Amino acid sequence: MPRRWLFALLILAFLFATGFTVVRANVLGMGERFDRLASRIETFVDPPPDRSTLPTVVVTPAPSLTASPTPTLAPTVRPSASPTPSPTPLVRTAVDITVVDDHDAVFTSQITDKDCAVAATQMVLTILGLGNSSNAFQTEIHDRIGEWESLDDSLNGGWGPAAVSLALAAYGEPGYEIRAYSSYTDALRDSAIAISQMDKPVVMFPWWGAHTWVMTGFRADADPTLFADAFISGAYILDPWYPRVSSIWGPSDGPGNFENLAELERNWPVHGGPPPYEAIGPGWTRPEGAYPDRDGRFVVLIPTTPRS
């Protein structure tokens, strides 16, 4: 018998000896601990394939906006010629943009505590007319993970950003790119620009990269595609965890809730996690091992092709 199978059987024997009743009742959090242990055993017995997958594009920080002196141009026309009229200056107007008319119609809660990425993938496909909000469709996506999982994408196996992008492509929506930003504001700004230009949602990975949100829109004091200094005040979010309550992050908000900057920064930790997890973060911080292109950065899936 292979050693890894012998080890797994010993673990199962221990669980029988200690009693599954304690686990089922979640006494002293044993149910959650069992889930984590079971996940580790599953990864040990059946590790994810070590194969190439989509790369994570590390985005360099945008330069700070500073006023540049206006150069004095030498005259290029004769004094008698009529000057070229100056272009009409852009009007700075607040924007409130979303790619979804009815968030309740496209929302699907994750079937199990582990299916956030599956449900987020499903909601993106539903928004784009390539899927539906049924549990049957979520189960279908879930059961195809073997086609997309990779050790580079998730050291635990299963779903990671690359698997989500590959799943979207498999159902007819290619072109979602994994990007990792050192700056939270740059990640939010590029997400807003992509939503405006492509008319498609963005996939975010809050909770240190352990969760998945769908960003469907935003509010800003100006159009970020026209004004480099547009201030984005928050985002419209589909959270597949709803209506559950997290022991770390608290209750999730309903479909299409507008999350202001304070809530975005709390769930997508800009500095550290919520009490008593302040030492964890910022950004992507996973306990299972290192992700060189993601660690400490803010990871999103950005659409790169316009909606048809």
Give the integer Cα–Cα distance in Å for 145 and 72.
Answer: 60
SS3 state at 189: helix
Q: Provide the β-strand partners of residue 59.
A: 181
pLDDT (average), residues 99-108 = 98
pLDDT (average), residues 222-230 = 97
Residues 213, 90 contacting (CB under 8 angstroms): no
Residue 217, pLDDT > 60, answer yes
Band (34; pLDDT cuts 50, 70, 90) = very low
Give the integer Cα–Cα distance in Å for 191 and 217.
Answer: 9
Residues 127, 100 contacting (CB under 8 angstroms): yes
**CA nearest to 204, candidates 236, 246, 156:** 236
Residue 212, pLDDT > 50, answer yes
pLDDT (average), residues 89-105 = 96
Residue that wins the pLDDT comparison between 2 and 258: 258
Q: Measuring CA to CA, how many Å separate 134 from each of 138, 145, 147, 184?
A: 7, 18, 21, 33
Give the integer Cα–Cα distance in Å for 61 and 185.
Answer: 10
Percent of the chain past pLDDT 90, that is, above it, reads: 70
